[in-house]
Amino acid sequence: MLYTTSTAVPSAVVTELKRLKPAKIIVVAGSGHIRSAVYTTLGGIAGVEKMTVGSRFTGSRLVLSRLPGKVDAVYLTGASLRSYPLAIAAAAATGRAALLVDGSRSAASDSTVRALKATGATRIVILGSTASVGSSFYRSLAGAGFDVVRKSSETLYGLSAAAAKQHPAGAARMIMVNPSSLADAALGGALAGATRQPMAYTVYACVQSQVQAQTAAMNAKPLPVGATYWLTAAVAANTSCTVQRPKLNASLTAAINATIANRGGKYAVTVREVSDTGQSTSIRGSSRLEPASMMKLYAAWAALRRVQTGTASLSTKLASGYTLGTCLRVMIHASDNYCHADIVHWFGIGNLNHALKRWGFSNSTYGSVPKGASVLYAGNRTTTNDLSRFVKMLRNGELGLDGKRKSYLLDLMGSQIWTSRIPSGIPAGVKQQSKPGALWISTGLLQADTAIVYGKRSTYVLSIIGYDDASKADLAAISRTVYTHFNGSFGKAKVYPAKQMVAAKSVTMRTGPGGSSAGTLKAGTAIEITDAQRIWYKFYFGSRLLWVDSRALRNR
């Protein structure tokens, strides 16, 4: 198997084809994906056959139809392309076949059943959980006369170890691949199939325990496939994550401390990797501190829990007359303090504190203020340990919110407009979802932020509370340090526009929230938001500070 671009065959690939001297070159691609220049170059080396693939599923059936003979079993995987190479490796090792299916369907299609029966197989081995190939799909295969068994694991790494167990004894190598690089996963599957060696998945920095145990049980040596960015030297040495994780944590802690040492202010910092190596560190992370507007995450979560149970809805009217949905939006999007107070008092401070304690956030509490009063300076306290754990649990679906409500809150965090802290310390093009805060306290300005960062190699949660005159630039510097640790160094960080929003349509400008007219803001005009009071956003218009209905605006 060789890769080409859509417009030209790379010189290294041409060199390899000339060395191989093939009788035929089969080009596998979607319709229209390959330009004529590629076929011209390849045709000068050998005869060319075009294998046009309509979808990943039809392509898989097309490959299956080319089997040179009959098999007794087929390894079946679901819609994830990352599980397909595992099936290919297991099939090649045992003289069987592999097929990729849309396991989310209620039943196997007639074309899938025909393709399976054409192989002569009587047994189907499903690699993956019910999330990959559903129970009804499983039953439809059994109903079609196949003997069906399932081999599954909670993780892709565990599944790869289970697939490797299908390999007969005596393998010299365990091919190891990072499934985050799909191109490498496909290469690993091809290499495993061609050499009849087992293949397993692992993370970039170490070898997962199940994979290491299976490698040791087979008395095989690891053979990493892919760039060193995706698989470090620790993988080549078969170093377990249990051994490597403390070293990685210490390196992360040292890097953050070095960044903090060159900055003013004091900082509490907690980092939790969402998956993969499970790295984490906490610097003053258990200190109960004023968190500013990051408390709004707790209020939003509690409100959405009520919506999910049916005791409220997004159209529920709060004491201010605004709906819960409207207040949730502006509370996160522009960090509005008025809607925050509306939601907290609607839910009840005591009820909110009880919910936080019950879910294990015992160091996070709202202070007591009279009903209807602002909760901004109520004496609220939390820790970066609690905040980072909260957001990690939210991301992983462990906070009692269904998929719809979880996505709703994460989307709000992804579209909020204050991006000069953690988001300004990561590269352009990297997705993040965050909730920052700032507040004047007795020792100076407090700057805070909590974010999920979806890095190229690793996804993690970072929570920072900076006090004693901390700055946004300091938080961005810490963010850059953490991103570099997990995902490698980079050049210029993402630069966000100071004018975060633009008028989606012509709208009246106001002297105050709902105040008298101050003229018309023309559609397409970019503006810098400075504050919010429920639906009313405060912004600069030249040298003046005016207000506008936020529903007439959109993010730039």
| Judgement on whether residues 31 and 161 belong to the same structural domain of the protein | no
| Max CA pair span of the chain | 84
| pLDDT reported for residue 442 | 85
Q: In what order do the strands lie in the sheet with 173-177?
A: 199-201, 173-177, 221-224
| Judgement on whether residues 65 and 45 belong to the same structural domain of the protein | no
Domain span at residue 287?
A: 248-487
Alpha helix positions (H), 359-502? 384-395, 403-415, 472-487
Backbone region of residue 343 per phi and psi (left: phi > 0; alpha: psi in -120 to 50; beta: other values): alpha
Q: The tokens of 308 are what? A: 């999910």
Query: For residue 416, is it within any domain?
Result: yes
| Judgement on whether residues 205 and 155 belong to the same structural domain of the protein | yes
- ∠ CA 221-225-230, rounded to 5°: 115
| Judgement on whether residues 224 and 288 belong to the same structural domain of the protein | no
Cβ partners under 8 Å of residue 420, min gap 6: 436, 472, 476, 496
Give the separation between CA 534 and CA 344, rounded to whole angstroms: 14
Query: For residue 465, is it within any domain?
Result: yes
Query: For residue 493, is it within any domain?
Result: no
| Judgement on whether residues 265 and 389 belong to the same structural domain of the protein | yes
The per-residue pLDDT string of the chain (556 residues; one tens digit each, 9 = 90 and over) reads 999 999 999 999 999 999 999 999 999 999 889 999 999 999 999 999 999 999 889 999 999 999 989 999 999 999 778 899 999 999 998 899 999 999 999 999 999 999 999 999 999 999 999 989 999 999 999 999 999 999 988 888 989 998 898 888 888 899 999 999 999 999 999 999 999 999 999 999 999 988 988 898 899 999 999 999 999 999 999 999 999 999 999 999 999 999 999 888 899 999 999 977 899 999 999 999 999 999 999 999 999 999 999 999 999 999 999 999 999 999 999 999 999 999 999 999 999 999 999 999 999 999 999 999 999 999 999 999 999 999 999 999 999 999 999 999 999 999 999 999 999 999 999 999 999 999 998 888 899 999 999 999 999 999 999 999 899 999 999 999 999 999 999 999 999 999 999 999 999 999 999 999 999 999 999 999 999 999 999 999 999 999 999 999 999 9
| pLDDT reported for residue 367 | 96
Query: For residue 233, is it within any domain?
Result: yes
Domain boundary among 190, 221, 241: 241
DSSP conformation letters of 21-62: --SEEEEEEETT-S-HHHHHHHHTTSEEEEEEESSHHHHHHH
Domain boundary among 241, 265, 280: 241
Q: Pick from 294, 193, 279, 181: which is nearest to 230 by CA?
A: 181
| Judgement on whether residues 449 and 463 belong to the same structural domain of the protein | yes
N-to-C CA span, the chain: 43
Overall domain count for the chain: 4
Domain boundary among 191, 219, 241: 241
Query: For residue 432, is it within any domain?
Result: yes
Phi, psi of 83 (to 5 degrees): -90, -20
Residue whose token pair is 């029966």:
117
| pLDDT reported for residue 366 | 97
| pLDDT reported for residue 355 | 97
| Judgement on whether residues 234 and 308 belong to the same structural domain of the protein | no
Query: For residue 494, is it within any domain?
Result: no
The helix/strand/coil state of 470 is coil
| Judgement on whether residues 145 and 227 belong to the same structural domain of the protein | yes
- Sign (positive or negative) of CA dihedral 20, 24, 26, 27: positive
| pLDDT reported for residue 262 | 83
Query: For residue 341, is it within any domain?
Result: yes
Please, which residues bridge with residue 465 across strands? Answer: 268, 448
| pLDDT reported for residue 88 | 92
| Judgement on whether residues 70 and 200 belong to the same structural domain of the protein | yes
Query: For residue 129, is it within any domain?
Result: yes
| Judgement on whether residues 408 and 472 belong to the same structural domain of the protein | yes
> Would you say how long the chain is, in residues?
556
| Judgement on whether residues 228 and 315 belong to the same structural domain of the protein | no
| Judgement on whether residues 293 and 198 belong to the same structural domain of the protein | no
Residue 417: give its domain's CATH number.
Answer: 3.40.710.10
Residue 509: give its domain's CATH number.
Answer: 2.30.30.40
